Amino acid sequence: MLGPTNFWMSLAGLVFLAAGVFVRRNEIGAARGLEKLIVLGPVFIAAALAAFAPEHFRGPAFVKSMVPSWMPGHGLWAYFVGCALLAAAASLTLKRFERLSTSMLGLMFFLFVCMLYFPSALRHPTNRMAWTFVLRDLSFCAGAWALAGLHSRSASPQQSKWLIAFARMVLAIAAVFYGVQHFLHPRFVLGVPLEKMMPAWVPLPTVWACIAGAVLLGAGVCLAVNRKSRMAAAAIGALMAILTLTLYMAQLILARGAPAINEGLNYVADTLLYAGSALGLALALRGDSKGLKRL
């Protein structure tokens, strides 16, 4: 059974995905080759954010173990974050107030890292999954701030430069870390490393893990040394988009029962959000070669 939360997550994600493609139809039509995918970066981010929002409206129980006990209004933060996700998704879809929304979205993910994931990683420094979550949400922050840098380029060129440089380095570190994890733990699912084993129906799982690891590692190094940075960011985004459409969509389709479907939806939205974040950086890096070198 699908369940009401899963239904609204699916509907919200699909509606925002379709609306985003419609709004950007002229840009997509004018783009060529990989540029078509890069243009979809903000659309992927918006669709993923919209899909996550209904979970937060389930109430305080959804985040009771995540919100720090010292924060006032403990039970209200789930609703606040849900509204913030929808507002950011609407802004990116309708192309309105994008500088403000991406700046605030990046700040929200940055606070998640500082308040939730980084303290957990410090408590468990040898746990690879703790650092995976730190780099995952920091990458979401980076993608949002890369778009904020893109939209502030004319008004605040210096701020734009540093936002995009920050995004490039964060995604570089994350890609290298994730790439190494694919080689060390090839039996686990691809993309953002998770504690979930590769499905039995995937042929040659180790081969696919090595391919994904090589793409992430190579792209991460290119981003770190600032060589072919735009292509590297696009490669990460393309890999995550392909994994969303193949591996994670297949897992969602094969899921049975509300809990399994909810897990599948989260994996789809999570990987799509990562794809959008990397493509957002590629979009922000668009410009002449001199501008890219300065970054």
pLDDT band of residue 3 (cuts 50, 70, 90) is confident
Count CA atoms within 13 Å of residue 157 on its CB side. Answer: 4
- The structural domain count of the chain equals 1
User: Over the stretch 181-215, which tens digit does the pLDDT of each residue have?
Assistant: 999 999 999 999 888 899 999 999 999 999 999 99
pLDDT tens digits for 43-89? 999 999 999 999 888 766 666 667 777 777 767 888 899 999 999 99
What is the pTM for the complete model shown?
0.93
CA 226/CA 285 separation, integer angstroms: 11
Residue 265 is predicted with a pLDDT of: 95
Q: Coil, strand, or helix at residue 197? A: strand
* Residue whose C-alpha is closest to residue 292's, from 168, 115, 156: 168
Q: For residue 179, is pLDDT > 60?
A: yes
Cα 96 to Cα 24, 49, 89: the distances in Å are: 13, 16, 10
CB contact at 8 A, 137 and 108: no
- Tell me the per-residue pLDDT of 225-247, one tens digit each, with 9 for 90 and over: 999 999 999 999 999 999 999 99
**At a CB cut-off of 8 Å and minimum separation 6, what does 290 contact?**
none
User: Are 212 and 219 spatial neighbours (Cβ–Cβ below 8 Å)?
Assistant: no
CB-based contact 244:127 (threshold 8 Å): no
Residue 266 has pLDDT above 80, yes or no: yes
Condensed to tens digits (0 to 9), the pLDDT of residues 99-135 reads: 999 999 999 999 999 998 999 999 999 999 999 999 9
Domain that holds residue 288: 4-294
